Structure 1
Amino acid sequence: MYNLVIADDEYEIRNGLVNYFPWEDIGFKVIGQAANGKEALELISSGDADVLLCDIQMPIMTGLEVIKEIYQQNSPVITVFLSGYQDFHFAQTAIKYGAKNYILKPTNFSDLTDAFTPIKKELDQRNPPPFQTKIVNQQSGSEHDPIIHKIKDYVKSHFKDASLDDAAQIVYMNPHYVSKYFKQKTDQNFSEFVFQIKMEEAANLLKEMKYKAYEVSEMVGYSNAKNFTRAFRKYFGVSPKEYRQLH
């Protein structure tokens, strides 16, 4: 069961989403609700949420401002937007900062199910068994593919701020095509590989004992230590402190 935060400044919509949609049937549990973007960000910063279902137009902080902050913090929280506006600029900005979906109001059962079913699958793929590194089932020959080799070298050298756009520039391809190509050849999303390398590098740095956990967090690209601890626990099944004690 994955943790969900719902943010919408309209009480009737928020209450309906929280109480009348069968979230548990598709693998989610609502752990908090917010009436504005600031409250949503505070709930996310507590480190327990996996997904944020968020209205775009909210007081104090808009949904776009919230997802920009999440993006800049390298938070693993997945965002899905709600909006009463069929505005291309909103959708374009949402996608730029990693939004997984953009649902127009009024929402219905099928819209939410269609949006959250693939997110559940993605979260399942992110979470390997405790104490084990994610095993990548690569298709035959992928390690000898020069494009894949170049992309992986780039990520290993720039894991702190590696991006799909920069990887695409290195191999002179369209980012969307690179994403599909990488998935096809490695059976792993580009973002999953970046996450894997970040976590493995963090584990190596923690073993050295000369860095504090918050320093390791910054070294692998997490400006928020709580988000780093949460991501590390998801990958290894233990906190950075517990991992250091075990090793």
Structure 2
Amino acid sequence: MYKLVIADDEYEIRNGLVHYFPWNEIGFEVIGQASNGKEALEVISSQQTDVLLCDIHMPVMTGIEVIKEIYLHHSHVHTVFLSGYQEFHYAQEAIKYGVKNYILKPTKFADLTEAFSKIKNELDKRHPHDDHKLEITEVDPIINKIKNYVNINFKTASLEEAAQLVYMNPQYVSKYFKQKTDENFSEYVFMVKMQQAAKFLKEMKYKTYEVSEMVGYSNAKNFTRAFRKFFGVSPKEYRLLE
């Protein structure tokens, strides 16, 4: 079962979602609930969480502020927005911070089922039936060294160079990185490249093809395709998001 946290300041809605939707039938277990954004972050940080179903308008911290914190901390928690508001700028904010879906209130059974079935498929690919994954160790010096290397050399970062840096075999480094961080080395490099590209695009002084080259893509079309895969929008569209 994947771990789900539900955050909504309206008790009736939150209680209904927690207790009356058959989460276990589609592979999820509700492990916590919150009435505001701050509580949601506290629940997520206190225990392993795979998905957050989060209302946009909540006291203390809004849903937007919550997913921004999750995004900035490179968390692997998937987020789904729940809101009665249909203004497009909320959807834009959601896209910018990697939200997986946007469900309007009143929630429909079919909408929830479709959204979370897709997320389960993504999680299944990320966690291929491994019930004995090692815990992520943030003081782990080897992982820190590899990540620092990628963060500095994102344009040309390679598994072979990372392996040389920590005096290990590339195949072993690949396996070790996956066990410790729950993601592939190539996935981490891709994430860093895209985040750096987003920063360059927001500076507005670089053309798209220049940003493409700055993060290691010699073909601007391939860069645009990769950027859209990561953010859900093209580089040009991303620049318009505020």
Matching residue of 1:84: 84
* Paired residue secondary structure (1:61): coil
TM-score, length basis structure 2: 0.61
In 1, Cα distance between equivalents of 2:193 and 2:60: 31
For residue 243 of structure 1, what is the aligned residue in structure 2?
A: none
Does 1:56 find its partner at 2:56? Answer: yes
CA distance in 1, matches of 2:156, 2:38: 36
Following superposition, the deviation at residue 127 of structure 1 comes to 1.1
Among 221, 237, 240, which residue is 1:173 paired with?
221
CA distance in 1: counterparts of 2:55 and 2:36, whole angstroms:
9
Listed as ranges, the matches of 1:1-247 within 5 Å are 1-128=1-128, 129=130, 130=132, 154=156, 156=158, 159=189, 161-163=192-194, 166=197, 169=212, 170=217, 171-173=219-221, 177-178=225-226
What is the aligned-residue RMSD (CA, Å)? Answer: 2.8
Instruction: Report how many residues are paired.
Output: 164
Q: Secondary structure at 1:173's aligned position in 2? A: helix
Residue identity in the other structure for 1:178: A
**8 A Cα contact 2:155 2:193, kept in partner:** no
Q: Structure 1 CA distance, aligned partners of 2:113 and 2:224?
A: 25
User: Offset at 1:162?
Assistant: 2.7
Change (3 A) 1:156 1:66: farther
Q: CA deviation at 1:177?
A: 2.4
Which digits, 9 at most, give the CA deviation of each residue in 1:92-143, with x for residues without a partner? 01110010000111101000011000100111111144579xxxxxxxxxxx
* Residue identity opposite 2:40 in structure 1: A
Note the residue ranges of structure 2 that are not aligned, 5 or more in a row: 135-153, 160-187, 199-210, 232-242
Q: Give me the TM-score of the superposition, normalised by structure 1.
A: 0.60
What's the CA shift for 1:163? 1.4
For 2:90, what is the secondary structure of its paired residue? helix
Q: Which runs of 5+ in 1 are unaligned?
A: 133-151, 181-188, 192-247
